[in-house]
Amino acid sequence: MNIGYLKKINSKNKLFISIGLLITLDMVCVYFFMLPTIDNIKNSRNDTINLKIDLENKIIREKNINTLNEKISKIEPQLEKINQIFISKNREIEFITTLEELEGKYNVQQKINIDLNNPEKGDGFNKIPISINVSGSFEDLIDYLANIESLNYYINIENLSLSKNSVDNSSVKAALLGQDLRNQMGLEISGYTYWK
């Protein structure tokens, strides 16, 4: 480089050249250092925003899970009741015994017919036809029917028939038990029970 040439340049031109070199040097610095740094800052900002959105979504999911767990804990006792509605295959004797206990409790005579051979298949359960013929006084029959409705088992009654009994074997049996034959009535219940 020829330094002698620089000595011939007047101070005004030197000032312009110095300013030009400084501006060029600044532009080079901006291009090679500041622009990549700005891009890195923008990328970091976008990453931070994405992380914030992801964190907010996780917080919302966590709240939803907590809410769902609370709802499940409230529903679980109800599920136990629903499970008791179904008669499980290993508890059929318990179901029949429960019905037979009603006979003595309400001073009635009953005949239970459960048709296990013709189940209707459902989603996870079988719908089994049941028919119950009961005879006794009107008051006892009403109490019996109310107790049937309050059992833990779900019996879907489709047909209910109440009639005055004529003298037959059940009436003779009722007379032997000291019941008044004039007040004897018959109750026929048909419907479905639900078995797992």
CATH number of the domain residue 165 falls in = 3.30.70.60
Flag whether 177 is in a domain. Answer: yes
Q: What is the pLDDT of residues 32-65, one digit of tens each?
A: 888 888 888 899 999 999 999 999 999 999 999 9
Residues 95 and 189 in one domain: yes
Single residue among 48, 63, 85 that ends a domain in this structure: 85
Residue 187 belongs to domain spanning:
89-195
SS3 letters across the chain: CCHHHHHCCCHHHHHHHHHHHHHHHHHHHHHHHHHHHHHHHHHHHHHHHHHHHHHHHHHHHHHHHHHHHHHHHHHHHHHHHHHHHCECHHHHHHHHHHHHHHHHHCCCEEEEEECCCCCEECCCCEEEEEEEEEEEEHHHHHHHHHHHHHCCCCEEEEEEEEEECCCCHHHHHHHHCCCCHHHEEEEEEEEEEEEC
Single residue among 85, 113, 130 that ends a domain in this structure: 85
Flag whether 3 is in a domain. Answer: no
Residues 106 and 158 in one domain: yes
Q: How confident is the model at residue 180 (pLDDT cuts 50, 70, 90)?
A: low
Q: What is the pLDDT of residues 93-140, one digit of tens each?
A: 888 888 888 888 888 998 988 877 777 777 777 888 889 999 988 898
Residues 63 and 150 in one domain: no
pTM of the model: 0.53
